[in-house]
Copies of this chain bind each other. A is one copy, B any other.
Amino acid sequence: MTKQVRNTAAKTAVMEMLSQSSTALSHGEIYQSLAETCDRVTVYRILDRLIEEGVAHRIALSDGTVKYALCEQCGDGHHHAHSHLHFNCVLCGGVSCLEVEIPHVQLPRKYKMHDVSLVVNGLCAACNS
């Protein structure tokens, strides 16, 4: 039997927060906004669980920073595809999932591609004015 899922106040709060946010959030940002209401470790575990449940996904920026975003923000809800790029605004720091397909990349002979991570750094629409 598959492990059952329980909805807790902390988990709901994290999801609510990710859902409200226009930008992907780091563990630290989430933990701080939840100020005192739950433990650091709990936030890590909730995020891990959300990812395992397919509700959220991890985004590693080009400097190594890790952010989290809900998956609905990055697909049409119907077919869930993770082959989209992530945009990191160097001005406001915002990180967002763009509905842009990752172009096909040709690898050298014998290489086998599993998945691709593409992060674009630049100015977002709001900051580029």
A residues at B contact (CB < 8 Å):
58, 60-66, 85, 87, 90, 98-100, 102-125, 128-129
Contact = CB atoms under 8 A, between A and B. Distances in A.
B90 A100 contact: no
Contacts of A90: 114
Given A63-B60, A64-B64, A64-B66, A108 B125 contact: yes
Given A60-B62, A64-B64, A87-B111, A105 B118 contact: yes
A116 B66 CA distance: 17
B114 A117 contact: no
A124 B110 CA distance: 7
Q: Lowest 10 A-B CB distances belong to which pairs?
A: A62-B117, A103-B103, A110-B125, A112-B123, A114-B122, A60-B64, A113-B122, A117-B119, A112-B128, A64-B66
A124 B111 contact: yes
A120 B124 contact: no
Contacts of A60: 60-64
B118 A118 contact: yes
